[in-house]
């Protein structure tokens, strides 16, 4: 009886852990997809200018609009 309870508990734990891993992977992929869409279309969020300077060589069509202080708006120029 004790072995049966242990087996059932182990199976439920394995099933729960598998679902948790799959859920985490799907959330990470969805976030990466949204981030990629923002980068490829346009970035309207204020970003530190240092980050914009790092992104500029990777995305040469990135324009940085300086704001007050160190932040600026970053846009992907569309023809």
pLDDT tens per residue across span 23-73: 998 888 888 888 776 655 455 555 556 666 666 666 666 555 545 544 444
**Spatial separation of the C-alpha atoms in residues 45 and 68, rounded to whole Å:** 14
What pLDDT, on a 0 to 100 scale, did the predictor assign at position 38? 64
pLDDT, residue 34, reads: 80
DSSP string, the chain: -HHHHHHHHHHHHHHHHHHHHHHHHHHHHHHHHHHHHHHHH---SEEEHHHHHHHHHHSTTEEEEE-STTEEEEEE---
pTM over 0.85: no
Which of 6-10, 11-15, 22-26, 54-58 is predicted least confidently? 54-58
């Amino acid at each position: 009886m004790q072995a049966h309870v242990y087996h059932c508990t182990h199976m439920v734990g394995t099933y729960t852990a598998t679902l948790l891993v799959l859920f985490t992977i799907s959330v990470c992929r969805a976030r990466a997809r949204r981030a990629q869409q923002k980068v490829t279309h346009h970035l309207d969020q204020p970003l530190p200018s240092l980050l914009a300077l790092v992104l500029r060589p990777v995305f040469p069509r990135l324009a940085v609009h300086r704001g007050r202080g160190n932040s600026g708006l970053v846009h992907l120029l569309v023809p």
